[in-house]
Chains A and B, each alone.
Chain A
Amino acid sequence: MMMDLEGSTEKSADFTNTDETSLLVIIMDSNPAQRILRENPHVLTQCVDSVIAFANAHLMQKAQNKLAVMACHSKLSEFIYPGPGKQLDVRQIDGQYEVFTLVEKTIKQNLAKILTSETSTVITESLLAGAIAMALCYIHRINRIKAPGLKLNSRILVVTGSGDSASQYMNYMNVFFTAQKQNVVIDVCALDQHLSLLQQGCDITSGMYLRVPQMQGLLQYLLWVFLPEPPIRQKLVLPPPVKVDYRAACFCHRELIDIGYVCSVCLSIFCKFSPICTTCHTVFKIPSLGVKPKKKKLKI
């Protein structure tokens, strides 16, 4: 691998170019309703530690690299690094780079604030699409205020153990297409269930999707698969991209279909012909057979 990199000097010059920085936004699902957290709440500690170590590894790669971390909680999503309000005052501890200490302390403090404010025990879904939307707005601003001539590669990493829900479909699609347009790569690290919607997002934005087989090895997976920048990834041997199923689910039975009927007004998908659209209540004309006699009459 190394030889390959050194061999192409032009490419490697690109990677080390100081005009190029990368912004990583990590979205951490901290919703207590996730199955893995309900079974064993300590998983969150491990998850947070891994994410912090991973975030620091990202900052370590290049001095100009930027980082933001968000927590997606049951009722709200918030930036926990760089958090709202004043930056924490940190001193060097045991010779550790101050920024790393700052990252760790800020994340833990802000996350604790969110967790202690949690009162209800109702199980709710994590609104990841909204969190990605916020991240995109943040990236959009950083892009706007960056120094001219500076190249900023942005990506979003979603670390989540919740399942995906069809109710957020529209929001998901909006954020995926926006990310694609803004050249933002979306990476997804699924901790528990397979996430077909987010997998589509990875495919659309050419990011990586990985379902972690072993929670114990989370940091290892993060460092291995998600730390390399997207341009370097093609040189590595990573899990191969899976073929994503883009078939549509019909609105009537939520089943995946090969051939379906689409309403010309609202683009709802149905598996069988029906005379009235259930979404927009449009009355359809009967196809083919109904039209022919009319034409004949006109000719006469």
Chain B
Amino acid sequence: MDEEDPKEYRWETGYEKTWEVIQEDDDGFLEASVADIIQKSKRKRQALKQGHAKLGMMRHLYIVIDCSDSMSGQDLKPTRLLCTVKLMEAFIEEFFDQNPISQLGIIIMHNKRAEKISELAGNGRKHAKAVKALNRTSLVGEPSLQNGLELALKSLKLLPSHASREILVVMGSLTTCDPTDINVTIENLKTEGVRCCVIGLAAEVHVCRHLANETGGTYNVILEDSHYKDLLFQNVDPPPAAVCLESSLIKMGFPHQMATEGTEDPLTMCMCHIDSADEGSKLTTGGYYCPQCNSKYCELPVECRSCGLTLVSAPHLARSYHHLFPAANYKELPYEHQSAICFACQKSFIADNDKQVYECNNCKKIFCTDCDMFIHDTLHTCPGCATNLATFQMSHSSQ
């Protein structure tokens, strides 16, 4: 589905016997078969993801959510909107976990208008709160794709040239009600280098396909909620850098907690809560101090409010390294008693259950299916290479 040719419609492709892919297991369940399909697609995507591509690491992403009448549809349970809200909360958490120095903003489209419900910022909790509050919005009127895109573009335009700009549209409606020609907006987005991805909840719409194709993004229509989640979470990984993306050195501050031997920390107020209405700034000890102007913050990463310096900690940067240096893909081999146990998790292979095993090209260790998934999805370090001195040095010198 992902790689289908944009010129070709689904009904023009060859006749597929989709039901033959699915097979019952011994107990008559389909779960194993479905899990197998999901895993295969994951591996396929993993194979495409190979390091040494220039990625847009400092991402600035606007999520544009359709909140029109069509989002009250009940094809996703309980409704399209509630399902979106739930997935979006998980997405935001995962996004900041994987891209700690990136920023996110949220725009909703309803009643032919676009409304920014959360400004571009790096704090995940604030966005999650804003998304949660969407449960109570009234779903009225038609969405305006153009207004949504224009609003996002207005603030993305102002970003420095090294920032990777992206828009992710979740479109439930099959129509859009626009004030002027949307092609002009698409052209503008293209010249500004904004990558637009669209997830359709209903059916393929030409203007969305056109938007995604022109701006180098992806366009997909969901099948059901787990496919929806899968499509949404594809946006967690940073995309390849846009051609016009300039590279530059960015000045950043690395605050450390002030610790003077023998003295207690002074009581101070933090800058992050200084003007928030619901929870005011409290007098506390400790915190992170901007090395340039000494203002205090309780959380990192943050942009200093008084001097504009980006404050991060070293682990924040380190958390993004695995996108740049991913673990090498394993080779899938039929199980022929290469090894009695999985090198990583010590599971003993049983010839009937483990039809495939995975071999690392560098350290030649054998892994089981689950470890292959775990290592490439979460761990990003090959346990074989990392425990073997020879391969460790080899892989290290190549980086």
Instruction: Report A's interface with B, CB cutoff 8 A.
Output: 72, 74-77, 79, 82, 84, 124, 127, 129-131, 133-134, 136-138, 140-141, 144, 167-171, 173-178, 181-182, 200, 204, 243, 245-249, 257-267, 269-270, 273-274, 277, 282-285, 287
What's the Cα separation between A45 and B214 when bound, in Å? 68
With contacts A133-B344, A133-B383, A175-B379 taken as known, whether A259 is within 8 angstroms of B253 at the C-beta atoms is: yes
Tell me if B247 and A130 are in contact (CB < 8 A): no
What's the Cα separation between A182 and B343 when bound, in Å? 20
Tell me if B381 and A264 are in contact (CB < 8 A): no
**Neighbouring A residues of B161 by C-beta, 8 Å:** 285
Tell me if A76 and B387 are in contact (CB < 8 A): yes
Q: Which residue of B lies closest to A175 (CB)?
A: B381
What's the Cα separation between A200 and B399 when bound, in Å? 23
What's the Cα separation between A263 and B387 when bound, in Å? 30
**25 A-B contacts, Cβ less than 8 Å apart?**
A75-B389, A84-B341, A129-B386, A130-B392, A131-B387, A134-B387, A140-B345, A141-B345, A170-B322, A170-B381, A171-B386, A175-B379, A248-B254, A248-B314, A258-B291, A259-B252, A259-B254, A261-B251, A262-B312, A263-B250, A264-B162, A267-B324, A274-B249, A282-B247, A287-B248
Tell me if A264 and B396 are in contact (CB < 8 A): no
What's the Cα separation between A52 and B186 when bound, in Å? 67
* In-complex Cβ contact of A138 among B340, B346, B388 (8 A): B346
**Neighbouring B residues of A134 by C-beta, 8 Å:** 343-344, 383, 387
What's the Cα separation between A267 and B246 when bound, in Å? 14
**Neighbouring A residues of B392 by C-beta, 8 Å:** 127, 130, 168
What's the Cα separation between A177 and B162 when bound, in Å? 27
Q: Which of B57, B58, B247, B257 gathers most chain A CB within 10 Å?
A: B247
Which B residues between 230 and 253 are near A, CB-CB below 8 angstroms? Answer: 241, 246-253
**Neighbouring B residues of A273 by C-beta, 8 Å:** 249
Contact stretch, chosen from B19-27, B72-80, B119-127, B369-377: B369-377
Tell me if B248 and A204 are in contact (CB < 8 A): no
What's the Cα separation between A178 and B292 when bound, in Å? 33
What's the Cα separation between A249 and B255 when bound, in Å? 13
* In-complex Cβ contact of A173 among B315, B340, B382 (8 A): B315
What's the Cα separation between A124 and B393 when bound, in Å? 11
What's the Cα separation between A245 and B312 when bound, in Å? 13
Tell me if B389 and A127 are in contact (CB < 8 A): yes
Given contacts A134-B387, A247-B314, A267-B57, 14 further A-B contacts (CB under 8 A): A76-B387, A76-B388, A84-B340, A133-B383, A133-B387, A141-B370, A170-B325, A170-B381, A174-B381, A243-B257, A258-B291, A264-B248, A264-B249, A265-B57
With contacts A174-B380, A178-B379, A181-B378 taken as known, whether A265 is within 8 angstroms of B241 at the C-beta atoms is: yes
Q: Which residue of A lies closest to B249 (CB)?
A: A261
Q: Which of B255, B315, B340, B392 gathers most chain A CB within 10 Å?
A: B315
What's the Cα separation between A205 and B347 when bound, in Å? 26
Nearest 6 interchain pairs by C-beta: A130-B386, A130-B387, A137-B344, A141-B345, A258-B291, A248-B314
* In-complex Cβ contact of B256 among A124, A245, A263, A285 (8 A): A245
Closest chain B CB from A283 CB (angstroms): 7
Which B residues between 291 and 326 are near A, CB-CB below 8 angstroms? Answer: 291-292, 309, 312-315, 317-322, 324-325
What's the Cα separation between A134 and B250 when bound, in Å? 36
Verify if B54 is at the interface (C-beta below 8 Å from A). Answer: yes
Verify if B97 is at the interface (C-beta below 8 Å from A). Answer: yes
Q: Which residue of A lies closest to B258 (CB)?
A: A243
Q: Which of B321, B340, B345 gathers most chain A CB within 10 Å?
A: B345
Tell me if B248 and A137 are in contact (CB < 8 A): no
**Neighbouring A residues of B252 by C-beta, 8 Å:** 259-262, 269
* In-complex Cβ contact of B317 among A124, A131, A175, A269 (8 A): A269
**Neighbouring A residues of B251 by C-beta, 8 Å:** 259-262
With contacts A169-B318, A259-B292 taken as known, whether A137 is within 8 angstroms of B375 at the C-beta atoms is: yes
What's the Cα separation between A134 and B320 when bound, in Å? 22
Q: Which residue of B lies closest to A172 (CB)?
A: B318
Tell me if A137 and B318 are in contact (CB < 8 A): no
**Neighbouring A residues of B249 by C-beta, 8 Å:** 261-264, 270, 273-274, 277, 284, 287
Q: Which of A124, A129, A264 gathers most chain B CB within 10 Å?
A: A264
**Neighbouring A residues of B381 by C-beta, 8 Å:** 129-130, 133, 170-171, 174-175
Verify if B277 is at the interface (C-beta below 8 Å from A). Answer: no
Tell me if B378 and A127 are in contact (CB < 8 A): no
Q: Which residue of B lies closest to A266 (CB)?
A: B324
Verify if B259 is at the interface (C-beta below 8 Å from A). Answer: yes
Tell me if B259 and A243 are in contact (CB < 8 A): yes
* Contact mask for chain B residues 341-370; partner A; CB cutoff 8 A; 1 contact, 0 none: 111111100000000000000000000001
What's the Cα separation between A200 and B313 when bound, in Å? 12
* In-complex Cβ contact of B379 among A133, A258, A264, A287 (8 A): A133
Closest chain B CB from A257 CB (angstroms): 6
**Neighbouring B residues of A269 by C-beta, 8 Å:** 252, 314, 317
Closest chain A CB from B161 CB (angstroms): 8
Tell me if A138 and B345 are in contact (CB < 8 A): yes
**Neighbouring A residues of B257 by C-beta, 8 Å:** 243
Q: Which residue of A lies closest to B314 (CB)?
A: A248
What's the Cα separation between A169 and B309 when bound, in Å? 26
* Contact mask for chain B residues 48-60; partner A; CB cutoff 8 A; 1 contact, 0 none: 0000001101100
What's the Cα separation between A120 and B87 when bound, in Å? 54
Tell me if A285 and B246 are in contact (CB < 8 A): yes
* In-complex Cβ contact of B378 among A77, A170, A176, A178 (8 A): A178
Closest chain B CB from A299 CB (angstroms): 16
**Neighbouring B residues of A248 by C-beta, 8 Å:** 254, 313-314, 317
Q: Which residue of B lies closest to A125 (CB)?
A: B389
**Neighbouring B residues of A79 by C-beta, 8 Å:** 346
Closest chain A CB from B285 CB (angstroms): 11
* Contact mask for chain B residues 148-171; partner A; CB cutoff 8 A; 1 contact, 0 none: 000000000000011000000000
Closest chain A CB from B26 CB (angstroms): 19
